[in-house]
Structure 1
Amino acid sequence: MPKPRPQPRPGDEQSPREDAGHSGEELPVAGPPAASPPQALSMNEQQQITDDISKLTIVHEIALNSDFKLQAASFSPKSLENRVKEILHKAFWDSLEEQLSASPPDYTRAIQLLQEIKEALLSLLLPQHNQLRSQIDEALDMELIRQEAEHGALDIHGLTVYVLGTMARLCAPIRDEEVRGLQSLTDPAQLLREIFRVLGLMKMDMLNFTIQSLRTHLQDHTVQYERKKFQELLDKLPNSLDRTREWLCKAAAEVSVSSSQLPPHPAASGSPAAHSPGAVSSSTTVPNLTSVLNRGYMNLLCWEPGQKEYPETLFMDQARLQEVQAQVNQLTIIAAVLLVTSGMCGSTLCGSPGYEEALEDISNQVLQEVSRTLSHLGYAAFTTDKCASLKGQIKSIADKGNAVQHVVAQRIHSFLSLFISPDGQKSQKDFPKGLDPIQEELLEVGRRFGSVIHHNRQVFGPYYSEILKKMLLPDAEPDSDVGMDSF
């Protein structure tokens, strides 16, 4: 006979939740070395590299994205992966239902599920939850459950009642309604399936709570971790910094032309030096290495998508930096429109209550013309979102050759360059002339840009230092810091 089952303690099912967590002169610049032929990697090596990149990306996102949250894996409803998953899941749960409906019931799969449910509940506990841990171990004693199943005395309903009570104590407030909804299910197979699903959500909630709780601690160690993992990738993938060398080589060529041009204007990329990384001259002037790196960072705001690959050391931030680039372009157009309007209308008019209405009329007129042209050419009309985005932008200002846009872009880039300098915070009080209407937006873009660059500099500074010294100071001693200031 099975040993007596310990009865749940009073209040276990509906007790208050415990402390669960919830939620001028040119210089000789060496061109990038030719890459060696890629070596074939085994499937295991490829999988290991993929896993390393995944871990590195997660840690990087935690460090830079304060809203970062892990999400359950999902597939497109029509994808092969989703179809396979649905078939396998249906087969499993159909089998469970058949087993529980048999006479006598077969509890094989139910016991497997109860074991996983127990492990899931235990994984949700915090270190101080010693008493609750003991209660779960006692109430979900797997050896006792197997004995009861063998003797046909297993009480699935009683076990699920205890599980639901424990889930109610541990779940985040956002899951309260879902947990309560489970109590109305009477079919044991369906109930176990839904318990399993909600527990998965609760585990994700706990992981995200842990990430938020440990964010400060993680940020103290993420630089060393990212650098270590990146070095492990380099060890497995030789010559995998070629794009980074090309990016820095281009920046060095630009700085060698005129060290006084900081930051570069987008049009500067049309200069011969900008398109000739690795150009050699007879000058022996060596630019400050930090200036070269800063120029490279500012060039990211003028990146031409689709024409060249992002540096390997910035690949994880490509989407984030391209979003900053798009915002800078939008702010340049908006500021240029406001500057032109202010110059033509005068400051008195621009400061009057009717100024915003006048700008609204201008944007509406532009939108009407664009809509008419789209219709004439047979293109689909703009969506509501596109119309809202277009309003306030004047087509002529968007021309890169426009003098006003050129001045505005220079001022914006000069201001943003302060955010990647060690003493930039002290200088941000000197806001560029004529950009007051976009001050709040520009400050936010600057902070985002500076945050990404500051972290990148911390992680990859040693790599940049080594590449630049080999490129610009080929005769320097290996450990020399000639021409180098702090990255």
Structure 2
Amino acid sequence: MPLNDERPGSMSFSGEDQGSDVESSSERCDSITSASDLDCSQESFASNNSSKHCTPSSSPPKVLSLDEVMDSARDLSNLTLAHEIIVNPNFHLEANSPPQDSLFKSVKDNLHKAFWDILEAELNDDPPEYGQAIKLLEEIKETMLSFLNPGANRIRTQIMEVLDIDLIRQQADNDVIDIQGIASYIITTIGKMCAPARDEEIKKLQHNTDNIVTLFREIFRVLDLMKADMVNWEINNIRRVLLKQSVEYERATFQSILDKTPNSLNNTTKWIKCALEESQSAVSSTEVKQTAVPGPFQVLNTAFLHLLTWDYTKNTVPETLMTDEGRLREIQEHLQQCQAVNEVLLIVYSTIGGPIQGLPTLSERLKRMTTVLLDGMHRPNFNLEETLQGVSAQICCELNKSLTERGYSPLTSTLQATLTGQICSITEKDNPIRTLVEDRVQQYFKMLLCDAKPQGKLEQVPAGLTIIKHDLMPVAAKFLSLVNYNKTVYGPYYADIIRRLMFNNFPSEERPSHSAAQDTAVSK
């Protein structure tokens, strides 16, 4: 059932105290959540007797059958595909093409070559043998029919008549079959059916009539491209429907997985528990009451901040974020590269000082050069310390050139060695410049997550991050879009987990009342 256009906040716990969506790709999802999601999710936190619609449930531990495992895998596959279609406007499928130099491609090419060699040998026999050719025509016919809409009766009838396999087989038996004429009809027909982007391919087919085997091989190649075009056309149509119902669909599909798979929220619970313990420590250090509890928004925002420094090699991503793991990794990698660039340039400007201050052209050149040299710093075989040595050498060259042009003395060898040593030291975890930059980045993202209208605050980067301001903004917008949509879909699950963790962490005589917890949730 399509939902109305009422705009949700960044969380589905409550309509207040939550950041609205950023003006980015998340705008596609503005009309997919109804106000009922906000109301009932608040209820699911505030009361143990939440409405059935919003209270997530999971099955008790049990032994799964093979059918249940397969059903869960299919649900997960559907959920992943639907989510990708929704959040990625550029998502599309390419015609199947195995990697170059792979064993699969080698085997596939050899098998195809053997098939086409057999076909050529049969057609060159005297008299010709048309068995394989007729099978190809039958497959081409079925593929062409699959491209037609239900109402395309005229062209369907024409294809059925021209590619009448029984009639073609009789013609072959009497050696009166016109293979070249049939191929010409196929090319003309698929030329009318294909997307405009394939017009050049059709022209190549029309001029490739010397060898009938090569012609058929190219026809199949173009048909494979048309299949991919058809799938992508269907994806675009599905996207329009999913954008209207995505929250309901993803939540229902995820609940279906929970119903079939025990302990399906274990990683999510651990993730939120860690954030809750951190938030409780922060509250305890500032509150007099021992029973003071952090608000659920504070807990969840802390949990999402942890994703920026998540160790994907050691920790499994929460189940509610499994469809976004690739995007989260990209955000983290881009962010870490921006931080490294910022650290390098802060060291340069603090070490050299006045002679290079107030020169935007030089600053931009140093930033661009450092960014290029640090590209790919997350690859396993990337040697960061060695690269930073090269970065330092390049920066010293640029600085000497700029200083000399403006009448200053070039850097001394001692100063260059000092600069190089300080730049290379950012690989150390406790490096003060690195710690400063990482803390400021966390402050920036925390400010945006906690703000009711974060799109107006994207440019308000903390002091010390001005150099990478325009690099941080799109990363922050992408992260907020992802977080806001995730909160909207999985808010009821998060509310239920936080409520259970909070109440279980208190002795019964000290446990806050439901109304107190609700006040905490909306007052932050």
TM-score normalised over the length of structure 2: 0.68
Q: Gaps (5+ residues) in structure 1?
A: 1-34, 262-281, 368-373
C-alpha deviations, 1:322-364, integer Å up to 9, x for none?
2211222222222233334444555784222673499489969
Indicate whether 1:71 and 2:100 are aligned: no
Q: Structure 2: which amino acid aligns with 1:308?
A: N
Alpha-carbon spacing, 1:306–1:363, altered in 2? closer, same or farther (3 Å): closer
Moved more, 167-176 or 442-451: 167-176
Alpha-carbon spacing, 1:131–1:447, altered in 2? closer, same or farther (3 Å): farther
Indicate whether 1:396 and 2:425 are aligned: yes
Indicate whether 1:465 and 2:495 are aligned: yes
- Looking at structure 1, the residues matched to 513 and 75 of structure 2 have their Cα atoms a distance apart, in angstroms, of 33
CA RMSD of aligned residues (A): 4.2
Task: Give the counterpart of 2:480 among 429, 436, 450.
Answer: 450
- Looking at structure 2, the residues matched to 178 and 386 of structure 1 have their Cα atoms a distance apart, in angstroms, of 50
- SS of alignment partner, residue 258 of structure 1: helix
Q: Structure 2: which amino acid aligns with 1:120?
A: T
* Mapped contact 1:418–1:425 kept (Cα < 8 A): no
- Looking at structure 1, the residues matched to 430 and 480 of structure 2 have their Cα atoms a distance apart, in angstroms, of 28
Task: Give the counterpart of 1:196 among 220, 236, 252.
Answer: 220
Kindly state the Cα deviation for residue 36 of structure 1 after the two structures are TM-superposed. Answer: 8.8
Kindly state the Cα deviation for residue 177 of structure 1 after the two structures are TM-superposed. Answer: 3.4
Where in structure 2 are the equivalents of 1:240-279 lying within 5 Å? 240-259=264-283
Kindly state the Cα deviation for residue 245 of structure 1 after the two structures are TM-superposed. Answer: 0.9
Q: Which has the higher contact order (CA 8 A, sep 6+)?
A: 2
Aligned to 1:423: 453
Indicate whether 1:159 and 2:189 are aligned: no
Kindly state the Cα deviation for residue 240 of structure 1 after the two structures are TM-superposed. Answer: 2.0
Kindly state the Cα deviation for residue 291 of structure 1 after the two structures are TM-superposed. Answer: 1.5
- Looking at structure 1, the residues matched to 168 and 523 of structure 2 have their Cα atoms a distance apart, in angstroms, of 64
- Looking at structure 1, the residues matched to 393 and 493 of structure 2 have their Cα atoms a distance apart, in angstroms, of 42
Aligned to 1:220: 244
* Mapped contact 1:52–1:233 kept (Cα < 8 A): yes
C-alpha deviations, 1:273-329, integer Å up to 9, x for none?
xxxxxxxxx943222112111111100111123222211221222222122112222
* Mapped contact 2:64–2:261 kept (Cα < 8 A): no
Indicate whether 1:323 and 2:330 are aligned: yes
Kindly state the Cα deviation for residue 182 of structure 1 after the two structures are TM-superposed. Answer: 2.7
- Looking at structure 1, the residues matched to 454 and 243 of structure 2 have their Cα atoms a distance apart, in angstroms, of 22
Alpha-carbon spacing, 1:213–1:466, altered in 2? closer, same or farther (3 Å): same
Kindly state the Cα deviation for residue 195 of structure 1 after the two structures are TM-superposed. Answer: 1.0
Indicate whether 1:124 and 2:147 are aligned: yes
Q: Structure 2: which amino acid aligns with 1:301?
A: L
Aligned to 2:231: 207
Where in structure 2 are the equivalents of 1:366-381 lying within 5 Å? none
Where in structure 2 are the equivalents of 1:23-42 lying within 5 Å? 39=63, 41-42=65-66
* Mapped contact 2:426–2:434 kept (Cα < 8 A): yes
- SS of alignment partner, residue 497 of structure 2: helix
Aligned to 1:110: 133
Kindly state the Cα deviation for residue 139 of structure 1 after the two structures are TM-superposed. Answer: 3.4
* Mapped contact 1:419–1:449 kept (Cα < 8 A): no
Where in structure 2 are the equivalents of 1:337-348 lying within 5 Å? 337-345=344-352
C-alpha deviations, 1:242-291, integer Å up to 9, x for none?
11111111000000011499xxxxxxxxxxxxxxxxxxxx9432221121
C-alpha deviations, 1:23-77, integer Å up to 9, x for none?
xxxxxxxxxxxx99884643x5544444333322222211222221213444456
Aligned to 2:306: 299
Moved more, 204-213 or 390-399: 390-399
- Looking at structure 2, the residues matched to 466 and 323 of structure 1 have their Cα atoms a distance apart, in angstroms, of 29
Kindly state the Cα deviation for residue 405 of structure 1 after the two structures are TM-superposed. Answer: 2.8
C-alpha deviations, 1:441-471, integer Å up to 9, x for none?
1111111111221222222222212222221
* Mapped contact 2:459–2:469 kept (Cα < 8 A): no
Q: Structure 2: which amino acid aligns with 1:123?
A: S
Kindly state the Cα deviation for residue 153 of structure 1 after the two structures are TM-superposed. Answer: 3.2
Kindly state the Cα deviation for residue 418 of structure 1 after the two structures are TM-superposed. Answer: 4.5
Aligned to 1:285: 292
Aligned to 2:437: 408
- Looking at structure 1, the residues matched to 161 and 393 of structure 2 have their Cα atoms a distance apart, in angstroms, of 64
Alpha-carbon spacing, 1:167–1:387, altered in 2? closer, same or farther (3 Å): farther
C-alpha deviations, 1:213-265, integer Å up to 9, x for none?
5534332223322222222222222112211111111000000011499xxxx
Q: Structure 2: which amino acid aligns with 1:331?
A: C
- Looking at structure 2, the residues matched to 337 and 81 of structure 1 have their Cα atoms a distance apart, in angstroms, of 45
- Looking at structure 2, the residues matched to 229 and 389 of structure 1 have their Cα atoms a distance apart, in angstroms, of 52
Alpha-carbon spacing, 1:76–1:363, altered in 2? closer, same or farther (3 Å): closer
* Mapped contact 1:342–1:350 kept (Cα < 8 A): yes
* Mapped contact 1:243–1:311 kept (Cα < 8 A): yes
Alpha-carbon spacing, 1:477–1:97, altered in 2? closer, same or farther (3 Å): farther
Alpha-carbon spacing, 1:186–1:231, altered in 2? closer, same or farther (3 Å): farther
Indicate whether 1:312 and 2:319 are aligned: yes
* Mapped contact 1:247–1:311 kept (Cα < 8 A): yes
* Mapped contact 1:290–1:484 kept (Cα < 8 A): yes
Kindly state the Cα deviation for residue 104 of structure 1 after the two structures are TM-superposed. Answer: 4.4
Indicate whether 1:56 and 2:63 are aligned: no
Aligned to 1:265: none
Kindly state the Cα deviation for residue 199 of structure 1 after the two structures are TM-superposed. Answer: 0.5
* Mapped contact 1:335–1:438 kept (Cα < 8 A): yes
- Looking at structure 2, the residues matched to 172 and 225 of structure 1 have their Cα atoms a distance apart, in angstroms, of 31
Q: How many residue pairs get matched?
A: 420
Task: Give the counterpart of 1:139 among 162, 181, 187.
Answer: 162
TM-score normalised over the length of structure 1: 0.72
C-alpha deviations, 1:1-32, integer Å up to 9, x for none?
xxxxxxxxxxxxxxxxxxxxxxxxxxxxxxxx
Alpha-carbon spacing, 1:486–1:361, altered in 2? closer, same or farther (3 Å): closer
* Mapped contact 2:72–2:257 kept (Cα < 8 A): yes
Aligned to 1:171: 194
- Looking at structure 2, the residues matched to 344 and 485 of structure 1 have their Cα atoms a distance apart, in angstroms, of 47
Indicate whether 1:436 and 2:466 are aligned: yes
Aligned to 2:4: none
Alpha-carbon spacing, 1:73–1:260, altered in 2? closer, same or farther (3 Å): farther
Moved more, 247-256 or 198-207: 198-207
